[in-house]
Amino acid sequence: MLERPRRNRTSEAVRSMVRETRLSLDNLIFPLFLVDGNGQRQPIASLPGIARLSQDNALREVEQCMNLGLRSFVLFPAVEDALKDREATYSWSRDNFYLRIIRQVKKEFPECCLASDVAMDPYSSDGHDGLVENGNIVNDDTLPILARMAVAQAEAGIDIIGPSDMMDGRVGYLREAMDQAGHSQVGIMSYCAKYASAMYGPFRDALSSAPKFGDKKTYQMDPANQREALREAALDEAEGADFLMVKPALMYLDVIHLLSEHTALPIAAYNVSGEYAMLKAAAERGWLDHDRAMNEMLLSIRRAGATAILTYFAKEYAEKAVGR
């Protein structure tokens, strides 16, 4: 035999020399759930190890992560039901705690990178990402609401906005609104190929943001479709997106790969709440080796072509990577 592929696997030294993909903390973005108030650290049953944090604890969490070498975060607000309404007005209100926390984190840790969520669902009494009229999620009347939300986040100091709503034309609309408000340096990480997935359950528990009626299938993509992601990607790129996101990640590695071959923009992948919960549950029962499976999951997302990975594993990965 002339060819013996096993020769390149004989020792860790050789294996690491020929290793094609590496995962660095620089690639990871850690989602944080935020609540109003003080001294709050509310565990989320379906997301073991993850909690809703008030400002004081969020600042502590960011500091710990920064010390581990993890410096990018995506922030989500858990808003009281009493503050939700049809038009998500709390999202740009002056005394919004989410905007206050953004301001404070950027003040204390100017070198961190903060990404936001732009969508109506955390603030909407209907629990939908867009405005509801007569039982329909209307597209064009949602855009000005998203723009007010995005500009408020930019004013608070966000580095990158993350429109996750899947309305048509919102990337271009938000780019223009932010530019006009003097925020041309704030980036857009567009949730470009976001699927109507069963994997968002634990996230909706965390925010109590499940839709009050129906589902999200008229705006999020059909899990059966791959080529349609190319159409979304072309539009978002033309409208000025700085990153294209695929979400969820693990069941859509083909889409990550496809988009990475069709764009020069960095690809972000969201390793969503259900993907995290599945591994935590299996590991808790002793059915999977947690750390090995975690490493393999994150590596597979990188190998598929993602540059950035939004993952609830980020801090744990960082803690364990430091010890290695």
Binding site for ligand PBG (CB under 6 A): 117, 119, 121, 129, 164, 200, 203-204, 216, 272-273
Of residues 180 and 218, the one with the C-beta less far from ligand PBG: 218
Of residues 63 and 243, the one with the C-beta less far from ligand PBG: 243
Q: Cα separation of 138 and 218, whole Å?
A: 10
Q: Report, in Å, the least distance between residue 194 CB and ligand PBG.
A: 7
Q: Cα separation of 249 and 297, whole Å?
A: 9
Between the alpha carbon of residue 258 and those of residues 171, 244, 306, 311, the distances in Å are: 21, 12, 11, 21
Q: Cβ distance 29 to 62 under 8 Å?
A: no
Q: Report, in Å, the least distance between residue 174 CB and ligand PBG.
A: 14
> Which residues on neighbouring strands pair with residue 190, listed in sequence order?
244
Catalytic-residue membership of 217? no
Of residues 63 and 223, the one with the C-beta less far from ligand PBG: 223
Q: Cβ distance 283 to 257 under 8 Å?
A: no
What is the distance, to the nearest Å, from the Cα of residue 38 to the centroid of all Cα atoms in its chain? 25
Of residues 32 and 154, the one with the C-beta less far from ligand PBG: 32
Q: Report, in Å, the least distance between residue 81 CB and ligand PBG.
A: 17
Catalytic choice (84, 247, 280, 315): 247
Q: Report, in Å, the least distance between residue 318 CB and ligand PBG.
A: 18
Q: Report, in Å, the least distance between residue 113 CB and ligand PBG.
A: 18
Of residues 41 and 204, the one with the C-beta less far from ligand PBG: 204
Q: Report, in Å, the least distance between residue 144 CB and ligand PBG.
A: 18
Catalytic-residue membership of 247? yes
Q: Cβ distance 209 to 261 under 8 Å?
A: no
Of residues 121 and 237, the one with the C-beta less far from ligand PBG: 121
Q: Cα separation of 290 and 45, whole Å?
A: 18
> Which residues on neighbouring strands pair with residue 163, listed in sequence order?
118
Nearest to 226 by CA among 183, 191, 256: 256
Q: Report, in Å, the least distance between residue 55 CB and ligand PBG.
A: 21
Catalytic choice (194, 216, 280, 315): 194
Of residues 97 and 270, the one with the C-beta less far from ligand PBG: 270
Between the alpha carbon of residue 106 and those of residues 37, 41, 53, 183, the distances in Å are: 19, 21, 17, 16
Catalytically annotated residues: 194, 247
